[in-house]
Each structure stands twice: as structure tokens, then as C-alpha cells.
A = this chain, B = another copy of it.
Amino acid sequence: MAIVDLPALYRAYTACLNAQAWDALARFVAADVVHNGRTLGFAGYRNLIRGNYRDIQDLRFDVALVTADPPHLAARLRFDCTPKASFLGLPVNGKRVQFFEHAFYRFEGGRIAEVWSVIDKAAIESQL
């Protein structure tokens, strides 16, 4: 495997998400990507994240901390946003909330092949 700067690659991936540059996303995500144990595939994964941006119009991935240990990378992501309706089953309904997501990624051939993600739902609940 070629030497890849995973943190730089990861920041380019989040920049791609924040730009909602859906046509460029395949550069970063494998065709058979697995998310929390489910094989979503590229189209399913893109739809998942597009749906997040549709439901949360001011959504922005903000990388608070990233640790790389190839082929894995872990990211602490900060969110400060306004979900329109319900989010994670919670009645957020346009309230601005701050919370973190902790996600692990496995890269393969320079693309994200697997994601394990946990969102701090308790933090959101405490703000409602």
C-alpha cells in the first residue's frame, strides 16, 4: 500500500461533505462501504449523509480531534446545528444543539471501507 497521510485524507473527506460535493465523494468512500455493521455501499452511504444535510440545513462536520493508526483513523467530531424536526428519535424541532460524534474508520486503498460511529444522544437530550 502506498504511504497515505490519513489525517489529511480525512480532512479532505470532511471538506467534501461540508461542500456537499456529492460527485467527488467516491474519491473517499469505497464501493462496498460498511457502516455500523451494515453494508450500505457507496450509494447507500451517500444517501445517508445527504439525508443528514437535508434534515439539518446548517450541518457541518468539524474535526475536533483525529488520531491515525493505519489502516484505522478515529475522529471526534463537533456539531453545532439545528435539526429541523426529530433527530435520533428526539423532538429537536429547530432548536440549536451542540454534540459530539466519535467515529472509527478503516481505510482500504485510500478509501473509507468501514465506519463505526457513536453519537452523543444523551448530550442532545440534556439540551431539550
Contact = CB atoms under 8 A, between A and B. Distances in A.
Contacts of A122: 88-89, 119, 121
B76 A100 contact: no
Interface in A66-83: 67-69, 72-74, 76
**Copy number in this complex?**
2
Contact of A116 (B65, B73, B119, B121): B65
A119 B100 CA distance: 11
A108 interface: no
A60 interface: no
Q: How large is the interface on A (under 10, 10 to 19, 20 to 34, 35 or more residues)?
A: 20 to 34
Contacts of A118: 100-102, 118-120
A72 B76 CA distance: 12
A16 interface: no
Nearest to A102: B102
21 contacts: A65-B116, A67-B67, A67-B68, A67-B72, A67-B73, A67-B74, A67-B104, A68-B69, A74-B74, A74-B102, A74-B104, A76-B104, A88-B122, A100-B118, A102-B102, A102-B103, A102-B116, A102-B118, A118-B119, A118-B120, A119-B122
